[in-house]
Structure 1
Amino acid sequence: MYRFRFPRVLLTLHYSIHMETSCGFILANHRSILLLQYPQGHWSFPKGHVEAGEDHHSTARRELLEETGIEEIRIIPAWTERTEYSYSRKGSVNQKQVYWYLATTDKFQVKLSHEHTNFLWLDLESAVDQLTFEQEKDVLSKARNVLENLSID
């Protein structure tokens, strides 16, 4: 609750803040990065909400399988990033944090879920350009050094 004082008036604003947590993968196949397109038009990485009793890696794996059909991955250890943003919906302010992990796969075939309209495998530069949100562009840029040094050619 926030209170603002104006001469002879006290204004009180009430709103609730809800924190959501999602987890996802930056998935590489050789020198290509997988991006998914959402019905609203934006491009992002595979990700989704944490379910009760799930740890973050399990969430990211489940969401990857549900959204792409890809199960066989190799997680790059000791690399994680976290982004956070807020948005409003139905009168409440929602905070969202997303934990990002790196993984590689030998699979190119994607079985797209009903939650998405398209997918692309792009080189790093093209993927950065294609991503809609600046925070995700930054996350991919941070992953660049690790991805470029992997023996995945």
Structure 2
Amino acid sequence: MPDERASGVILFRTTPAGRHYLIIKNRIGGHWGFPKGRLEPGEDELQAALREVREEVRITRLNLRPEFRERLAYRFVRDREVVNKEVTLFLAATDEEGIAEGSEIMALEWLPLPQALARLTYPEQRTALLRADAFLQALPRAEG
């Protein structure tokens, strides 16, 4: 059983230059990742993920791919205690740019896959992005 549960969204958009993924830089720790955060009481994973995207990058128009769901489980140390964390990532397209404002996000970038992979801080998030991209590659052209 995880000590902490969080969820978020791997956001992408397709432009004439190709598919780009949204990567954010967090103020605390300065790591690069996806918009995500802890579940609040009464929320399910999807509700929390959508709330986090609204709060962190101000994106509200999403075309969710409900068939894709990636679970990450890892441990980290906080205040000398080991925390078991489980994160569920969803996948969604958007036509919005997003805004890096507020107390949690320092910056955001839309990057093609190779640059997004290089920018992500944690290997489990790189794996999730590779799986999301493979999922999109397997879709019929009009859907991905």
Q: Give me the TM-score of the superposition, normalised by structure 1.
A: 0.83
3-state secondary structure, aligned to 1:114: coil
Separation of aligned partners in 2, 1:122 and 1:23: 21
Separation of aligned partners in 2, 1:109 and 1:59: 18
Unaligned runs of 5+ residues in structure 1 are 1-16
Q: Which residue of 2 aligns with 1:35?
A: 23
3-state secondary structure, aligned to 1:86: strand
- Per-residue Cα deviation, 1:27-61 (whole angstroms, up to 9, x for no partner): 00111100100122210000000001101100000
Matched, 1:80 2:69: yes
Q: Which residue of 2 aligns with 1:20?
A: 4
CA gap of 1:19–1:76, structure 2 versus 1, over 3 A, is same
Separation of aligned partners in 2, 1:24 and 1:87: 18
Q: Which of 97, 103, 115 is the matching residue for 2:86?
A: 97
Larger Rg: 1
Q: Which of 35, 39, 48 is the matching residue for 2:37?
A: 48
Unaligned runs of 5+ residues in structure 2 are none
Separation of aligned partners in 1, 2:76 and 2:100: 30
Instruction: Answer whether contact 2:8 2:34 (CA < 8 A) is retained.
Output: yes
TM-aligned CA deviation for residue 152 of structure 1: 6.6
The one-letter code sitting in structure 1 at the alignment partner of 2:120 is L
Q: Which of 107, 114, 117 is the matching residue for 2:96?
A: 107
Matched, 1:133 2:122: yes
Instruction: Answer whether contact 1:29 1:152 (CA < 8 A) is retained.
Output: no
The one-letter code sitting in structure 1 at the alignment partner of 2:21 is I
Identity percentage over the alignment?
A: 33
* Moved >4 Å (runs of 4+): none
- Aligned pair count reads 137
Aligned-residue CA RMSD in angstroms? 1.8
TM-aligned CA deviation for residue 111 of structure 1: 4.5
Q: Which residue of 2 aligns with 1:4?
A: none
